[in-house]
Structure 1
Amino acid sequence: MAVTGAIFIAYVAAHMFGNLKVFQGQEKFDSYAEFLRTFGEPLLPYAGFLWIVRVVLIAAIIGHVYAAYTLWARASGARNVKYSMKKATTSTLSSRTMRWGGTALLLYIVFHILHLTTKTVGPGPEESIYQRLVAGFQPEYWYIAVIYLAAQVALGMHLRHGTYSALQTMGLTTTPAAQARASAAGLVLAVVIAGGFAIIPLSVLVGIVE
């Protein structure tokens, strides 16, 4: 699960930093989007790199969900064990909502694809990626922005607990000081990535990006 989690962290971090190019204007943002589609040519077909990334992400999602279900099943079978009960009482909000947060993120991914990739929901069929993004978060579509912002809360909580769990799996939380560092790392990562994503629809709503 740590491996698939690391893949997701790497992807969302890269995706977030790429999306921040929207603040550089339409030309820069659309050029970046086109760069991703032509990366690897002529060895790869047009958009081939993006499809490789998508396949890896789909495989990671399947593996992550399977691992999460396996861990949940084991935890459910150990509910009568005192040690398990003790851990549950000291768990954080992020850890207690991990399963539901993950489900919410899966639903959000589907919505995100329908919104900005297939253009099934939201405004008209703008061909420019920049125009599509800006049109999709206009004030009249405030409810779409709310969905995105709620998803970033779920993402932040998932990243915070997931980062700590990954570091714990690697044996990097064996002392109170190490646990504090792991917790801080998870919090920083969650705030930076989720905050970076959230600032985009907010900036469109208030007219900073137009």
Structure 2
Amino acid sequence: MATTSAPPRPATARRTTIALKILMAGTGLVFVGYVLLHMYGNLKALAGEEAFNTYAEHLRTFGEPMLPYGGLLWAVRIVLLLSLVGHAYAAFSLWARAGNARRSKYAAGRTALRTAWMRWGGVFLLLFVAWHLLHFTILKISPNAGANGPDVENNPYRLVVASFQVPWMTLLYVLAMLALALHLAHGVFSAQQTLGWTGTQKAYRRARLIGNATALVVAGGFLLPPLAILFGLIK
């Protein structure tokens, strides 16, 4: 009686690697969409206190009465959390596979540098996100809050202004945005590559351009409000 043999191990490994790359690309694109929307919201600070606080409140009342107060934010948080778990799992799995693969000394050196840059940049971003949530959402803390009037923690605009009037907090934010820019430049390009959008030389260059442009727009947009606050353009 004939028996069906198991598929070759290399073929299974290739399929698993492709699945992991698709998972990382898909979850990465979720994050790109989120940071673009978040950047747009942050830029409301340039329009003044009323515009920024109205936007912040609208995020909580969006969809009422179909959604409960803050329902949209919780839905977004759940999607982001699931995406974060999937992205981290795929990234570390792929890094482990890449480390075990044989390469020439030159290729191994380049890959190791890029992998280390993405890995530790990603870890730094993860730590920054945890701090960011504690800072603006969970604890609402700022070492300069007292200089901006009472009840600053319940006024999103005043809390942002108080925070970025502190140089070391702005510096931390700048470093995080630089790490995000590098992560986006490579990640957006890699996602396009994984999805098969870089088959020609022209498409490859376009994918590189999209990755770099996304990184520049996002990092630049996020940095405008804190730098404007630090240098006294927003008070």
Question: With structure 1 as the length reference, what TM-score do the two structures score?
Answer: 0.92
Q: Say whether the 8 Å CA contact 2:95–2:115 is kept in structure 1.
A: no
Corresponding position of 1:119? 140
Equivalent position of 1:36 in the other structure:
59
Q: Kindly report the root-mean-square deviation, in angstroms, between the aligned alpha carbons of the 2 structures.
A: 1.8
Is 1:207 aligned with 2:207? no
The 3 A distance-change label for structure 1 pair 200 and 50 is same
Q: How many residues align structurally?
A: 205
* Residues 74-101 of structure 1: CA deviation (Å, up to 9, x unaligned): 10110x234xx55445559765501111
- Name the CA distance, whole Å, in 1 between partners of 2:128 and 2:49: 25
Question: Identity rate of aligned residues, in percent?
Answer: 47
Q: 1:102 to 1:50 in 2, by over 3 A?
A: same
CA deviations 1:86-125 (Å, max 9, x no partner) are 5445559765501111000000001111211121453435
Aligned residues of 1:94 and 1:161 also touching (Cα < 8 A)? no
Residue number in structure 1 paired with 2:211: 186
Output one character per residue of 1:154-202: Cα deviation in whole Å (capped at 9) or x when no partner: 0000000000100001111122222111111101000000111111110
Point out where structure 1 has 5 or more consecutive residues left out of the alignment. Answer: none
User: Secondary structure of the residue that 2:37 maps to in structure 1?
Assistant: helix
Structure 2 unpaired stretches of 5+: 1-23, 146-150
Aligned mate of 1:135, from 143, 158, 162: 162
User: Using a 3 Å threshold, how does the CA distance of structure 1 residues 208 and 112 change in structure 2: closer, same or farther?
Assistant: same
Q: CA distance change for structure 1 residues 92 and 70 in 2, over 3 Å: closer, same or farther?
A: closer
Residue in structure 2 matched with residue 72 of structure 1 by the alignment: 95
Alignment CA distance shift 1:107-1:67 (3 Å): same
| Aligned residue type for 1:163 | V
Whole-Å separation in 2 of the counterparts to 1:59 and 1:46: 22
For the pair shown, which has the larger CA radius of gyration, 1 or 2? 2
Distance 2:103 2:114 in 1: 22
- TM-score calculated relative to the size of structure 2: 0.82
Q: Once structures 1 and 2 are overlaid, which stretch shifts more, 4-13 or 169-178?
A: 169-178
